[in-house]
Amino acid sequence: MTLTLEHIRGGTYYFPLKYSNAGLYMFKKQCVLIDAGSSEEEGKAITEYLSSKGLTLESILITHAHADNVAGAHYIKNKTKAKLYASKEEAAIIENPKRSTYSAIISEYKDVEVTETNVEGEKDKVIHFIPTKKKVLHHTVLKHEKCVVDNILVPGKNFVTALKQVFEIIGLPGHSAGMTGIVTPDKVFFIGDALYTSKDLADNPIPYTVDVNKARKTLDYLLKTKYTSFVPTHGKPLDFSITAEVYNNQNQIKMIEESILMHLSMPKTSDELIAMVLASFQVEENIPNFYLISATITSYLDDLKRDKKVKAILEKGKTRWFADF
């Protein structure tokens, strides 16, 4: 596997990996990795790259414990003896992946060899078997092995390397319970999945969220932040203002909320509601999408219930939700 390392500013770089970005900060042949890729294969490639450049990995800082961010950490840590850091909430998942309610599911079309048939003639039928390639949608669940976290990242408390390089740790909860943003000494802000680019929202119009209220507050923070260089988990780095991207994310939350309230004009079970929201946003109704979005819709329902916009009733042994405002 061949990696490319893209320069951002000063000693800050990033690896554009297959499904996510991983950051790298270098100072006097010592380096810090921010997130660790989505597979052991990527972890191995990162380790080999650092070795080939004569770099010593001191620390691995994890923004959040989803497989596309942390799956390479187990391999990298074992091979380099680097220390692994994450927030308290995310450390619990890294050390025990079965506690997670999230699965990183990658859907992509792959070429599959199939044999098609062509029948000629009515009386004396001739059947032709024609080898061909067909694009079939495959769903891959990314997983990560448990890994010991050496110390905890605390929002508001700086992380300092052995060579006195200072990283700012900022709480960005919403997408996950304890997601943290990491600002390098060059003032490059790695924001995890706190923000989705316009392209990401077009591909994934219902972003995974465990706490929509905290996600809103995180977006409000990003709107006011003093930093001007950002690296999200997915997509290319963003420079200067991210105001338009933040507004897009805020508007998407409003659209999802409005869709839920519209469908709850009549009582619906959670499963009925999820199917309707998927259809509203033209998201394919399949098991992976249904599983991921169910957690997100639950977060919205909890938030709307707290705001007294929806209520739940028990009807014929089923919980049904309805708009109440």
Element (H, E) at 301: helix 287-306
Provide the token pair at 244.
Answer: 């338009």
Closest alpha carbon to 14 in 153, 156, 182: 182
Higher pLDDT, 133 or 7: 7
Instruction: Tell me the CATH number of domain 6-100+145-194, given options 3.60.15.10, 3.50.50.60, 3.30.565.10, 3.20.10.10.
Output: 3.60.15.10
In tens, the pLDDT along 219-250 reads: 999 999 999 999 999 999 999 889 999 999 99
In tens, the pLDDT along 177-189 reads: 999 999 999 999 9
Least confident of 125-134, 156-165, 216-225, 235-244: 125-134
In tens, the pLDDT along 253-300 reads: 999 999 999 999 999 999 999 999 999 999 988 887 888 899 999 999
Question: What stretch(es) of the chain map to CATH 1.10.10.10?
Answer: 204-325
Q: What is the pLDDT of residue 110?
A: 58
Decide: 83 and 160 in contact? Cβ < 8 Å: no
In tens, the pLDDT along 96-124 reads: 988 776 666 555 555 666 666 655 656 66
Provide the token pair at 60.
Answer: 């691995």
Closest alpha carbon to 161 in 23, 27, 35, 34: 27
Dihedral, CA of residue 155, residue 157, residue 162 and residue 167, to nearest 10: 60
Dihedral, CA of residue 209, residue 214, residue 216 and residue 221, to nearest 10: -130
Provide the token pair at 111.
Answer: 């070429």
Question: What stretch(es) of the chain map to CATH 3.60.15.10?
Answer: 6-100+145-194
Strands 229-232 and 188-192: parallel
Query: pLDDT exceeding 70 applies to what percent of the chain?
Result: 87
CA distance 52 to 141: 31
Q: What is the pLDDT of residue 123?
A: 60
DSSP3 helix / strand / coil % (the chain, rounded to 5): 35, 30, 35
Instruction: Tell me the CATH number of domain 204-325, given options 3.30.1330.40, 1.10.10.10, 1.10.3210.50, 3.90.1150.10.
Output: 1.10.10.10
The single-letter code of the amino acid at 52 is S
